[in-house]
Amino acid sequence: MNKSLSYDSHKARIQLAVLRAVVYLILIFLTFLCLFSFYMLIINSTRSNGELQGGFALLPSTHFIENLKNAWTDSSINIPKGLLNSFIVAGITSVLTTYFSALTAYGIHAYDFRLKKAAFGFIMAIMVIPSQVSAVGFVQICYKFNLTNHYWPLILPGIAAPVVFFYMKQYMESVLPMSIVEAARVDGCNEFRIFNSIVLPMIRPAIAVQMIFSFVQSWNNYFLPSLLLTKAEMKTVPIMIAQLRSADYSKFDMGKVYMFILLAILPVLVVYVILSKNIIKGVTSGGVKG
């Protein structure tokens, strides 16, 4: 009897070890797929245009500084200005999106009113509508009120972010007990002070997660900026990359393009590194009832 139990236990341990090994192999493979394209971007940014036209290579070359100089001093585009423009738009958008989405989620979560379910359903309905559907009318309004070549038409619509609102609401249901809010009300705190001083610190991981996602989405946005920004000094990074790709083929420098793409990714990586410590905490905490 004991031998049979020992054999079954040993067999179960072997099966668990094999399953764990398979899971690790799958994770390693997925990690490789995710990082390989970024690795090739770095490698290609060190190669000259002639080397890139010559074919595929896994090892870096010696033209990194040359490509960096050519991209940074390109006369057709102003890369430093484009990076600054994108950072202004993406930075302000991410802050406003997360703050007002959290504020809206707090209003739906903390208050009981007659049309609460209808308001929540309306916001969820907007979430499934593609942004391109309303883009034509929005662009016409911007042209009518002379809002082209301004950043506000790119920033303010980001405040209405149903996806961010939904995430914040679900997170608050997990980590924000109403007893704390009610105790603060009894102590005489007004609602904005409760939200800014009590609620925001409690949902900080969720805010960090959504700030990363909002920043990346705004940074990579090409559709609306390409329609609203026509002045060279106002253009953002995605528009400049498209201009490089559409340049005259005889003057097309692939090394410079890869370097520009690498420079465009670096600010996103910096934001991720700064806020990444909150990602796992924000995702796991949101799935556990407090």
Residue 275's CB: how many other CB atoms inside 10 A?
19
- Asked if the model's pLDDT at residue 95 lies above 90, the reply is yes
Tokens encoding 37: 């394209």
> What is the average per-residue pLDDT within 8-14?
74
Residue 89 pLDDT more than 90? Answer: yes
Q: pLDDT by residue (tens digit) across 100-142?
A: 999 999 989 888 888 888 988 888 888 888 777 778 888 888 8
For residues 283 and 200, the model is more confident at 200
- CA–CA separation, 179 vs 183, rounded Å? 6
pLDDT in tens, 256-279: 888 888 888 888 888 888 777 766
Q: What is the pLDDT of residue 99?
A: 93
The pTM for the full model equals 0.80
With H, G, I as helix, E, B as strand and everything else as coil, classify residue 241: helix
CATH superfamily of 68-285: MetI-like (1.10.3720.10)
pLDDT digits (tens, 9 = 90+) for 126-183: 888 877 777 888 888 888 888 889 899 999 888 888 889 998 998 888 888 888 888 8
Contact partners, residue 162, CB within 8 Å, separation at least 6: 123, 124, 126, 127
Q: Where are the domains of the chain?
A: 2-63, 68-285
**Buried b / exposed e along 128-139 (16+ C-beta atoms within 10 A):** eeeeeeeeeebb
